[in-house]
Structure formats: C-alpha cells, structure tokens
Amino acid sequence: MKDSFLPHLLLFLAAFLLHLPPQISSSTPSPLPKEALPTKSGYLTINSTSGSAIFYTFYEAQKPTTPLSETPLLIWLQGGPGCSSMLGNFYELGPWRVSSNVSVEPNPGPWNRIFGLLFIDNPIGVGFSIAASPEEIPRNQHDVAKHLFIAIKKFLMLDDSFKTRPVYVTGESYAGKYVPGFGYYALKQNAKLPVSERLNLQGVAIGNGLTDPITQVATHALNAYYSGFVNDKQKKVLEDLQKEAVELTQNRNWSEATNARSRVLDELQQMTGLATLYDFRRLIPYQDELVAEFLANVEVRKALGAKESIVFEVCSDAVGELLHADVMKSVRYMVDYLVKNTKVLLYQGHCDLRDGVVSTEAWVKKLKWEKIGEFLEATRKVWKVDGKLAGYVQKLGSLSHVVVLGAGHLVPTDQAVNSQAMIEDWVLEKGLFADQQINKLHANVSGSL
C-alpha cells in the first residue's frame, strides 16, 4: 500500500508547487549590484544659503597604472542643454550600462579603466542636481563655469589624494560649450590663485560638440547633399534656412536664431526621413529612456545617494528653455585660448548629421592660433585599435582631431572599446597622440648612431 501511495503523493506535491506564486528570495539581486556602486556619490553645495547643489557620481580607476595621487581624473559633462550626465554614466562611458531589460551590465570599454571618472549633473536643475529656484539656474556659460568650478574644487577636497591629480574635462554635444567654458574660466581663475590652490587642469576633450554655432549651422546643406541624403533643390531650401539662422545670429537676436537653427534641423529630418540625425544608420533613435526608467527605481536612487523626491528627467525642458538664448552664442574664442594654454581633443562619430565631422572642421579652420595653418596641413593618419580600423587622427602640438568610424553622436555608446583607447592614448600621449616632435627627434638620434 505504501508503495502505491508514494508516487501519487509526489505527483500531487509537484503540481501544488508549480501553482504556488513566485517567492522573492532574500538573495534577489539588487538593480544596482554592490560591485556597480560608485566609489563616491552625492551632492556638492553651490549655494549654502539656498541649498542649490550639484549631484555627482565618482568611479575610481579599476586598474590604475600610477599611484592614485598621480592618476588622471576625467570629468564628464553631458550636453542638451539640460541633459543629465547619468546618461553618460549608465548609457555611454561609465563602468556599468543599462541594458534593454533595464538592468545593468559591465561596459566593455569604460573610461575609468585606468583613470578616475567623475560624472556631474550640470547645470543645477539638471538630473538629480538641485536648483532652489529657477532664478539660480545659469543662463550663460560664465555662470555655468562658475558653478562647476565651485563644485569641482569641493569634490577635490573630499580626499587628500585628489588635490594633485591631473584633471581632464570632457563632454559631448552642448558640452561643446560647457567644456571650453569651464576650461577657460578655470585657467583664468588659476592665474589669480596661489599654486597650491590651483586646479591641475591638463586638457579638455569635446565630442560631437556644438561650439561655434554660427559656423556649424551653415554646413548642414552641403554635408547632407554630398552624403547623398538630399538633392540640389532640397539643398537650396536648407541653405535658405541656414542663411536666416546666420543672419539672426549676426544681429544678436539670440532666441530667434536658436529657433531658426531648429527649423534647419527639423527640415533636414523631414527631408531625409531618418529615425534620427544623431546617427544616420539607426532604424530607431538612441534609447535614453532606459536610463530614466532605471533611475526611477527607489533602490537605485538610495544606492546613489540621490534625493528620492526629485522627478528624474534625462533632459530637463525647464533648464533647456532657460538656456535657449545661449544656444547660438559662440565659445570659439575660448578654444583659441585653451589651445594655447593646454591640450585640446576634438572627436566626432562619423555618422552624426547634427554636430559631426564637417561642422567641426568648418569652425576649427577659424581658430586664432599661430599653428592652425600647420595643423590643417598635418597628415590625417589611419587609426587602428587591436589591428582593426577605428578611424582617423590628425594632430599637431596641443590640438588633436579624431574621426571615429562606426559611431554617431554618442561615440562611447557606439564604440566603447575604441573610445576608451582614444581617451587613454590622448591623455597619456601614446600612439598617434604622441608628440610628433619628440618622435622626430628620436628618429634623428637613432639615424645618427
């Protein structure tokens, strides 16, 4: 009797267990695993009276090759205007990326492999940063830079080893204005400070940047025409729209000039039928909504030290509107100053139709730098990573220009490993970024032996 009853009992128990509701195990993985937590994160106060503060996340170098006090520190600023650097963190170059199922997975090419990496939600009012009132949100690059300088100086005071580290400020898109704006401001402030209090700024890097809008807006028609996206008649329509944007900018009618630029891009979008001008290869736009969905999780916010009451937006319309009149204002003169006083990297994804290669080359030609003629005559070299074609590098002295193949507007998203190789070699002055004068000297010495 026992022998015949046991099989029936086992079948009953199996059926019962199959229909039980799923139990949440105490070992259920966190949406942000322990190993993915930043080294430091939180807030850097800008105004102690009002409480306005900048949010940051910092990731120490995974495999530093120098003592931490000498390990370069990269600072990332997102564009927009009004977009959060958490996009760069969790979708582009941070050590962990949000995947399509809204969980994180290791990035194959993080920028903190051998460098420290600091993400800043800039300006206040963006991402998890706090603006006590709309009046405190910057409307121009000087005020943006002033807030950043305060925040970065406070960050460097968090650890004694930070104070001496070489600093490189990087960013993309509208950060094509933030990055030179901050670099210019920092170097000017350094001149007023004792050596011990200066920011150890060693370089700036701009990816797919909007830097000299009046020049860049005038390039879309020809770029689209010679890329095969529009015909001659459509090119003429775009040229007329571009002319309007240029004239409004020349007349310093800033808000209307910004609107005119938007009409150029909207018309180009309509003519081409592309999913996005940020990358003409894509059948769907970049999925930045994944970052917003991920950061809506209360546990993630707690782990990052972000205020849970803030409604996170990847890009703030409110901040974007306040900087609307700033969009068409050029900061090329700041790059003129930077290229004479520190090193500058400009890089673009080859497939970006908004702030891509052609638009950058147009304004670089106008730089007021004694070596610009030599730079324009410098050889554009084939760039390879792990033996495979990655793009092209043009370098002379303090200025480097990189075209990244197989990438659109968000270069690190599209080419993680290659973008990592680019930033590491540029900072360390290796490979194609080595000083050519030194290379020539070594070659001459070798030849004379």
Instruction: Say if strands 73-77 and 167-172 run parallel, antiparallel, or are unpaired.
Output: parallel
Q: Residue 52 corresponds to which tokens in the numbers above?
A: 């306005």
Sheet of 201-207, strands arranged across:
40-45, 53-59, 116-120, 73-77, 167-172, 201-207, 343-349, 399-404, 388-396, 380-385
Which stretches of 121-221 are assigned E, i.e. beta strand? 167-172, 201-207
Instruction: Say if strands 380-385 and 388-396 run parallel, antiparallel, or are unpaired.
Output: antiparallel
In the numeric block, the tokens 């977009």 are attached to 83
Asked whether the beta carbons of 81 and 391 are under 8 A apart, the reply is no
Rounded distance between C-alpha atoms, residue 88 and residue 309, angstroms: 22
Please report, as a single letter, which amino acid is at residue 324.
H
Rounded distance between C-alpha atoms, residue 188 and residue 349, angstroms: 31
Residues annotated as catalytic are 173, 352, 409
In angstroms, what CA-CA distances link 162 with 70, 158, 200, 299? 9, 8, 10, 29
Residue by residue, DSSP assigns 224-241 as HHHTTSS-HHHHHHHHHH
Asked whether the beta carbons of 117 and 123 are under 8 A apart, the reply is no
In angstroms, what CA-CA distances link 203 with 10, 71, 119? 70, 14, 17
Q: How many CB atoms lie under 10 A from the CB of residue 405?
A: 16
Instruction: Say if strands 116-120 and 53-59 run parallel, antiparallel, or are unpaired.
Output: antiparallel
Q: Residue 318 corresponds to which tokens in the numbers above?
A: 């409110």
Please report, as a single letter, which amino acid is at residue 101.
N
